[in-house]
């Protein structure tokens, strides 16, 4: 998964943007990042100019300075939109303090900024070192976001598999399978198999649970086959075992 990163910044802070972009593009873990999008904010920016990239970004970096905070468009559109997506859990917003400015009462004041101690990067004597540390932290956050998504997908898959198994066991318990019309005593239970390419095939055959009957119907290569000899009784043992659970 590639993370889409978007910058929001004022045109007067273009130099800070270029320094940070350079560090990110040269980072050993740069492959975790997709194309870097930047969106300049100026007093001439019109409110109707909505940046589609912000609507789909995974990570939104706000370069904070007085020039951004003095922009009506800053609060009227892009940054508000970014914060709304952050609150819904759709994106991560990180304020990056580039110039000394009072930002503690802004919509993003409760977010963890970079640098982490809130010292403006423009005020640091070794700004290049500061930008490198910020780039390292950004990549660290991106990898954490990616791991969280991957874990979520795995957990969801495991949850769905467990729910499917539970439904099958419950079906056995509730005796929801049809009665065998041939013997009138056993149930017709579904059996699954694997196809020639290894893919699972649900309900490939139905077999009567009455060992004296064992009526069965199955599909093979599109043909319906009735009463083919049943080899082994593991499936029937599993059936009776499941029915005694609980």
pLDDT tens, residue by residue, 54-92: 888 888 999 999 988 887 766 667 788 888 999 998 889
Domains of the chain, each with CATH number or no CATH: 3-153 (3.40.50.10140), 176-243 (no CATH)
- Output the six-digit token pair for 139: 């990549």
Cα separation, 143 vs 32, in Å, equals 7
pLDDT of residue 130: 87
Band (pLDDT 50/70/90 cuts) for residue 47 is: very low
- Output the six-digit token pair for 82: 């970014």
Backbone CA torsion sign across 127, 104, 63, 57: positive
Give kind and range of the element (H or E) at residue 145. Answer: helix 127-174
Characterize the bridge pairing of strands 59-64 and 92-97. Answer: parallel
DSSP 151-206: HHHHHHHHHHHHHHHHHHHHHHHHT-SPBPTTTSSSBEEEEEEE-TTS-EEEEEEE
Q: Are 122 and 16 in contact (CB under 8 A)?
A: yes
List the 188-194 sheet strands across, edge first. Answer: 188-194, 200-208, 216-220, 223-226
Q: Kindly state the average pLDDT of the residues 110-134.
A: 86
Cα separation, 33 vs 47, in Å, equals 29
pLDDT of residue 54: 80
Q: Is 0.75 topped by the overall pTM?
A: no
Characterize the bridge pairing of strands 3-10 and 200-208. Answer: unpaired
Q: Kindly state the average pLDDT of the residues 187-201.
A: 66
CB contact set of 200 (below 8 Å; sequence gap of 6+)? 192, 193, 194
Q: Kindly state the average pLDDT of the residues 91-104.
A: 91
Q: Are 79 and 26 in contact (CB under 8 A)?
A: no
- With tokens 């950004």, the residue in question is 138
Band (pLDDT 50/70/90 cuts) for residue 155 is: low
Residue with the larger pLDDT of the pair 240 and 202: 202
Residues pairing with 194 in the sheet: 200
Cα separation, 111 vs 41, in Å, equals 21
How many residues appear in the chain? Answer: 246
How many Å from the N-terminal Cα to the C-terminal Cα in the chain? 43
Q: Estimate to the nearest angstrom the gap between the alpha carbon of 246 and the chain centroid.
A: 36
26 has a pLDDT exceeding 80? yes
pLDDT of residue 246: 40
**Burial class (CB within 10 angstroms; exposed 0-12, middle 13-18, buried 19+) of 67:** buried
């Amino acid at each position: 998964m590639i993370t889409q990163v978007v910058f929001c910044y004022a045109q007067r802070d273009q130099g800070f943007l270029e320094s940070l972009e350079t560090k990110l593009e040269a980072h050993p873990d740069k492959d975790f990042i997709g194309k870097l999008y930047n969106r300049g904010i100026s007093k001439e920016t019109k409110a109707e100019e909505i940046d589609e990239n912000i609507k789909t970004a995974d990570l939104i970096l706000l370069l904070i300075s007085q020039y951004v905070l003095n922009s009506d468009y800053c609060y009227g559109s892009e940054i508000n939109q970014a914060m709304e997506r952050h609150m819904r859990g759709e994106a991560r917003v990180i304020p990056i303090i580039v110039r000394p400015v009072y930002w503690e009462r802004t919509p993003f004041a409760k977010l963890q900024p970079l640098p982490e101690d809130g010292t403006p990067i423009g005020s640091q004597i070794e700004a290049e070192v500061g930008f490198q540390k910020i780039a390292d932290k950004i990549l660290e956050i991106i990898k954490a976001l990616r791991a969280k998504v991957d874990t979520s997908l795995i957990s969801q898959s495991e949850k769905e598999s467990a729910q499917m198994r539970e439904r099958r066991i419950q079906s056995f318990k509730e005796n929801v399978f049809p009665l065998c019309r041939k013997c009138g005593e056993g149930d017709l239970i579904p059996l699954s198999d694997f196809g020639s390419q290894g893919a699972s095939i649900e309900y490939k055959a139905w077999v009567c649970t009455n060992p004296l009957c064992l009526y069965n119907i199955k599909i093979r290569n599109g043909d319906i086959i009735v009463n083919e000899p049943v080899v082994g009784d593991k499936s029937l043992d599993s059936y009776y075992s499941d029915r005694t659970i609980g």
